[in-house]
């Protein structure tokens, strides 16, 4: 997470949406950088609302606008699936070796997910809170030029980005039947993602 106090902007770090590269590039420019632990680096809206927002509101009487990046839900799961096939994951219980992408997505759709498919939810991460706290600026991972242009204009910087924390390149296929079931079960998530291009 990055906070830019003068600009009243907090950049939330949705996992697997390329935000580590932005954090590296913008850390020197930010007033607050939360790089660790992961539970705070990747604090969702509800955690920001509970712990970070009151700090600025109570001490500085300041409200931040929130920005975040969302990835196409299938692409997002694909990145997690591939991320858990990095070589050092071989002996870890949540690796995805020997599991097809279909099996991974089906496991993700279960009410009680096995460890290898427990990767959270972008929809839950971005969920608006009862007090109105929510993401003001939501960007699509697949539209990097728009995200980059927003940050450069808002922060008055020129960004040079390096790829970081990248999942292994693997050939991924999702069967039509599993995709249809996934889209039906997670219709709200797809609707939120589809709404970004219309905003």
3-state secondary structure of 183: helix
Give the domain ranges of the chain.
2-196
Give residue 198's pLDDT: 57
Give residue 199's pLDDT: 53
Give residue 166's pLDDT: 66
* Closest to 12 in 3D by CA, of 142, 154, 127: 127
Tell me the per-residue pLDDT of 94-142, one tens digit each, with 9 for 90 and over.
Answer: 999 999 999 999 999 999 999 999 999 999 999 999 999 999 999 999 9
Tell me the per-residue pLDDT of 146-190, one tens digit each, with 9 for 90 and over.
Answer: 999 999 999 999 998 877 666 667 888 999 999 999 999 999 999
CB 13, CB 19: distance < 8 Å: yes
| Burial state string for 109-123 with b = 16 or more CB within 10 A and e = fewer than 16 | eeeeeeebbebeebb
Quick one: 101 exposed, middle or buried, by C-beta within 10 A (0-12, 13-18, 19+)? buried
Determine if the peptide bond prior to 159 is cis (ω within 30°): no
Quick check: 34 pLDDT over 70?
yes
- Strands of 9-11's sheet in order across: 32-33, 2-4, 9-11, 65-70, 135-140
Give residue 165's pLDDT: 64
Quick check: 144 pLDDT over 90?
yes
Q: How many residues does the chain have?
A: 199
Report pTM. Answer: 0.93
Alpha-helix runs per DSSP H in the chain: 19-26, 38-41, 45-47, 53-60, 73-83, 101-108, 122-125, 144-155, 176-185, 187-196
The CATH architecture of the domain made up of 2-196 is: 3-Layer(aba) Sandwich (3.40)
């Amino acid at each position: 997470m990055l906070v830019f106090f003068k600009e009243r902007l907090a950049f939330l770090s949705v996992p697997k949406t390329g935000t580590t590269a932005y954090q590296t590039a913008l850390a020197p420019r930010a007033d607050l950088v939360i790089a660790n632990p992961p539970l705070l680096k990747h604090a969702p809206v509800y955690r920001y609302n509970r712990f970070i927002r009151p700090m600025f509101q109570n001490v500085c009487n300041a409200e931040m606008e929130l920005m975040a990046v969302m990835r196409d839900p299938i692409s997002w799961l694909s990145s997690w699936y591939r991320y858990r096939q990095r070589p050092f994951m071989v002996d870890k219980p949540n690796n995805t070796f020997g599991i097809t992408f279909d099996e991974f997505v089906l496991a993700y759709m279960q009410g009680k997910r096995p460890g290898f498919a427990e990767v959270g939810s972008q929809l839950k991460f971005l969920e608006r809170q009862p007090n109105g706290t929510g993401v003001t600026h939501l960007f699509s991972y697949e539209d990097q030029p728009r995200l980059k242009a927003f940050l450069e204009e808002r922060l008055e910087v020129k960004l040079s980005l390096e790829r970081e924390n990248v999942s292994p390149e693997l050939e991924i296929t999702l069967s039509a039947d599993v995709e249809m079931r996934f889209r039906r079960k997670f219709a709200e998530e797809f609707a939120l993602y589809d709404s970004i291009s219309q905003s």
